[in-house]
Structure formats: C-alpha cells, structure tokens
C-alpha cells in the first residue's frame, strides 16, 4: 500500500478515544492559542482588503468570520480566518528545523468545515489534531533540513487542512487519498512574500485549498493516489532526495502536537530567544536605552538568514528584523503587536537604537538560545544568556499564560463578557455537542 494511502487509511480509521488525554489537551491549547491570534489579527488590513475584494464572490454564510461578525461560506471562511490567524505572526511553532506554525492552515479549516458539517467540539478537535499530525509529519520529512526555498507553512499546511476537512466530511479511504493528491497538486508558497500581506494570504489560501480538496474528493473527484511519494510527487519536488518513510513511522502512537509551542512575542519564533534576552537584560539591569553604546546579539544562524534585515520600513518588515525586535525589547520591554506598528518601526528612538545592534550567527546556539552583550556608554558590559526562550519547550507558556494571551488579543474585539466564556468553551471543547457553541462567541455580536 502506498504511503499516501497508508496516511489516508489512518485518518479515516482514527478514533478520538484512542488518543491520549495529554495529547488532546495540547491540541486544545493549540486551538485556543490560534483563536486568540485570529481575534488579534481580525482587523488587520490584510483581512479587510481580502474581505472587501472577495465578498462579491462569496457564498452563503456557513461559518463565522472570527472577530468580524457576520458569516460567509465555509471555504471563504477558511481563507479569511486563515489570514487573520497568521497575519500577526503570533501563532504557534513546531520546535524542529521546519519551524512551521502548525495551526495556521489547519485551525481555520477545522473550525469552518466543522461549522459547515455541524460537527461536535470533539469531532473538530479530533480533526484538528489529525490535520496537525499529517502536516507536521510531512514537514519533518520533506523539510528535515529546514526550508530555505518554498514556504513550509503553506506547502505542507495544505495537507493538514485537507486531512482535517476530510475527517469532518467523513471521507472514506479512497476519497481521503484523492484529497491528499488534490492537496499535493495545489501546494504552493514562496518565501519571497515574507514581509507582505501575501505571507498570511498564502496560509489562508492553503487552508481554503485543503478544505476544497476534501469537498471535491467527497464528490468522487479523482486525483493521484501517490501524491506524496510518487517519483515526481510532492516530496520529490519540494524536498528532493528526502526519504519519505518517516512520514508514517509511529503513526497513531506518537503525536506531533505534543511538541507544539506558543509564541509569547508577535513575530517569528526564531527571534524569541534574542527578544527574551533583551527583555531580561532590560529588566535585570534597569537599562536606560539612551545609554546603550552597542549591542552584540549572538544567535542561531537561522535568525540572521530569515530576519537579517537591519532597516525595516514597515510594521510587517519589522517582524523580519532581529535588529528591530531587539531595539523594541530593550526600549519597551515588550514585543507584542504595538511594537510592530508602522509607527513604532519608524520611531526615532527605535531607529537610533537599531543602528547600534549587531546580530552575529553562532552555530553552537540552538534556536531557543541567545546571548545579548550590551555595552553601555559608561563602559560597562552587561551580558545576558537565555538557555530556553520563553515559550519554548523548555520554558513553555502555561495554560493561564495562554488565557492571558487570548484575553489580550481579544480586548477591544470581543465584548468583555465574551472572553471568559470563550476560554471556558475552549477548555471544554470535547463536551460541546455543536462547535457553534464556541464559534458563536468569537464574533462581536
């Protein structure tokens, strides 16, 4: 039996009660974290523009537009909620070389198709968990050496969205195999769009495309049955030379969601150790930013590769600039959404400090490690070393941290009384007979 078929059979046969409770709890944390991010991003102009552009071609309301109120068709909801959930770069991260944000394509598909299919909370969580599993396993294998060409989130995320939607639509193994083939042939995303609205767009696009693959396969729409493993299939084209068999090793016994991490800072996970080091240095030493002569940051080489831009010109570009992140961490003691506004990126104090920050790659440092060496104008050298960045597996956000993160992101978006209800329904998701008991709370009305 081919690898794609093995994966499809697993997805079809999986039963929620066979999945260990701690795994389900981590999936719940992942979903709650993603919902917070979607609430925080729902008024971003990337969402507003896409909604404006596409409302004329959208269908009747099956699923909520998170944070915006109103409903739209299930596939448009995948796209628009997918943009909202990823546009702040505040979501989750798989602590592997792949560095993908696992929930970004899967959560919007699971929620919107769940509403469309009138699924229970448990069914949605199960589908979400399986989608993460498929996506992470593909990413771990195809991008085992990291992803420096194609965008890992989108190119592997479409499989997760297809798997989650396919599970909710109760596809049989043949249909699920076709859905994965339809995902393979639609997989897309270039890293050159980082720093533009198109990064969040292609994530939403793949959420939609994965869900569409499942909807088509349900009708009997045919595709390759070896989408992943064929000689010119997805793995061969996107990760040439990689052995695909690990995709199914330990399937059903080991769960990738167990390794998921959640971002405390509103930017790429590779930046978090450096930000954490700067915030700790600031708070420990009571640094006045105006007295800083220079900062040397020692970081994993991936930080420089992805975020080496020394002079960002917009909020979005600021999320891809380690110099900007360090500057706001030292000045503001924070790296939340306000630190990535266009205004903050262009502010004089931030720009001045940015030019005094020198990031240096150090292959001996893991991604969750960093050192900040701060030379003060008076000659003092203040050194701060972070072994486990806040939010990493060694120093994870607690459940109450996730509550606080969602509450912060939802402030001003949802009526205050909704926020504790949203948290309650999230933690209680497995008991909800209809997922709409949660989704009806994540809109303003």
The binding site for a second copy (CB under 8 A) comprises 45-46, 49-50, 52-54, 56-60, 62, 73-76, 148-151, 154, 181-182, 184-193, 196-198, 201-202, 205, 209, 212, 215-216, 218-224, 226-227, 230, 232-234, 237
Q: Measured between alpha carbons, how far is 331 from 243 in angstroms, rounded to an integer?
A: 46
Residue closer to a second copy (CB basis): 184 or 374:
184
The answer to whether residues 382 and 285 touch, using CB atoms and an 8 Å cutoff, is yes
Q: Measured between alpha carbons, how far is 264 from 401 in angstroms, rounded to an integer?
A: 9
The tokens of 67 are what? 């944070």
Strand partners for 72 = 63
User: Minimum distance between the CB of residue 185 and a second copy, rounded to whole angstroms?
Assistant: 5
Residue closer to a second copy (CB basis): 268 or 391:
268
Residue closer to a second copy (CB basis): 14 or 175:
175
Other CB atoms within 10 A of residue 358 CB: 14
User: Minimum distance between the CB of residue 331 and a second copy, rounded to whole angstroms?
Assistant: 27
Q: Provide the edge-to-edge strand list for the sheet that holds 370-376.
A: 357-361, 292-299, 370-376, 381-386
Query: Residue 380: which residues within 8 A CB-CB, separation 6 or more?
Result: none
The answer to whether residues 167 and 127 touch, using CB atoms and an 8 Å cutoff, is yes
User: Minimum distance between the CB of residue 175 and a second copy, rounded to whole angstroms?
Assistant: 11
Residues constituting the chain: 445
Q: Measured between alpha carbons, how far is 188 from 304 in angstroms, rounded to an integer?
A: 25
User: Minimum distance between the CB of residue 327 and a second copy, rounded to whole angstroms?
Assistant: 24
User: Minimum distance between the CB of residue 421 and a second copy, rounded to whole angstroms?
Assistant: 29
User: Minimum distance between the CB of residue 440 and a second copy, rounded to whole angstroms?
Assistant: 20
Crossing angle of helices 121-142/152-168, nearest 10°? 150
Residue closer to a second copy (CB basis): 184 or 413:
184
Residue closer to a second copy (CB basis): 120 or 147:
147
Residue closer to a second copy (CB basis): 162 or 331:
162
């Amino acid at each position: 039996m081919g690898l794609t078929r093995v994966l499809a059979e697993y997805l079809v046969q999986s039963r929620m009660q066979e999945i260990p409770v701690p795994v389900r709890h981590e999936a719940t944390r992942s979903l709650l974290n993603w919902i917070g991010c979607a609430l925080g991003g729902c008024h971003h102009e990337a969402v507003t523009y896409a909604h404006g552009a596409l409302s004329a071609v959208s269908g009747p309301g099956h699923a909520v537009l998170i944070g915006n109120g109103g409903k739209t068709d299930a596939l448009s909801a995948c796209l628009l909620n997918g943009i909202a959930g990823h546009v702040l770069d505040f979501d989750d991260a798989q602590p592997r070389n792949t560095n993908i944000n696992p929930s970004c394509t899967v959560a919007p598909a699971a929620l919107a198709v769940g509403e469309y299919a009138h699924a229970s909370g448990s069914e949605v969580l199960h589908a979400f968990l399986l989608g993460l599993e498929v996506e992470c396993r593909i990413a771990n294998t195809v991008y085992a050496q990291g992803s420096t060409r194609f965008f890992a989130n989108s190119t592997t995320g479409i499989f997760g969205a297809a798997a989650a939607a396919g599970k909710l639509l109760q596809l049989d193994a043949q249909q699920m195999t076709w859905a994965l083939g339809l995902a393979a042939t639609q997989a897309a995303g270039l890293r050159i769009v980082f720093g533009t609205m198109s990064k969040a767009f292609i994530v939403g696009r793949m959420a939609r495309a994965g869900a569409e693959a499942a909807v088509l396969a349900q009708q009997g729409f045919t595709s390759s049955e070896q989408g992943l493993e064929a000689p010119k299939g997805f793995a061969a084209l996107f990760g040439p030379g990689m052995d695909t068999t690990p995709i199914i090793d330990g399937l059903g016994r080991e769960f990738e969601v167990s390794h998921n991490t959640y971002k405390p800072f509103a930017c790429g996970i590779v930046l978090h150790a450096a930000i954490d080091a700067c915030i700790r240095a600031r708070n420990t030493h009571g640094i006045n930013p105006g007295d800083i002569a220079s900062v040397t940051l020692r970081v994993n080489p991936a930080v420089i590769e992805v975020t080496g831009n020394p002079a960002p010109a917009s909020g979005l570009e600021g999320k891809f600039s380690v110099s900007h992140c360090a500057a706001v961490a030292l000045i503001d003691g924070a790296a939340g959404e306000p630190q990535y506004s266009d205004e903050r990126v262009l502010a004089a104090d931030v720009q001045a400090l940015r030019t005094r920050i020198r990031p240096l790659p150090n292959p001996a440092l893991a991604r969750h490690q960093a050192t900040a060496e701060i030379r003060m104008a008076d000659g003092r050298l203040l050194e701060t070393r972070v072994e486990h960045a806040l939010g990493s597996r060694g120093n994870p956000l607690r459940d109450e941290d996730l509550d606080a993160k969602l509450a912060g992101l939802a402030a001003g978006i949802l009526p205050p009384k909704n926020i504790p209800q949203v948290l309650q329904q999230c933690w209680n998701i497995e008991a909800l007979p209809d997922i709409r008991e949660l989704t009806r709370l994540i809109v303003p009305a």
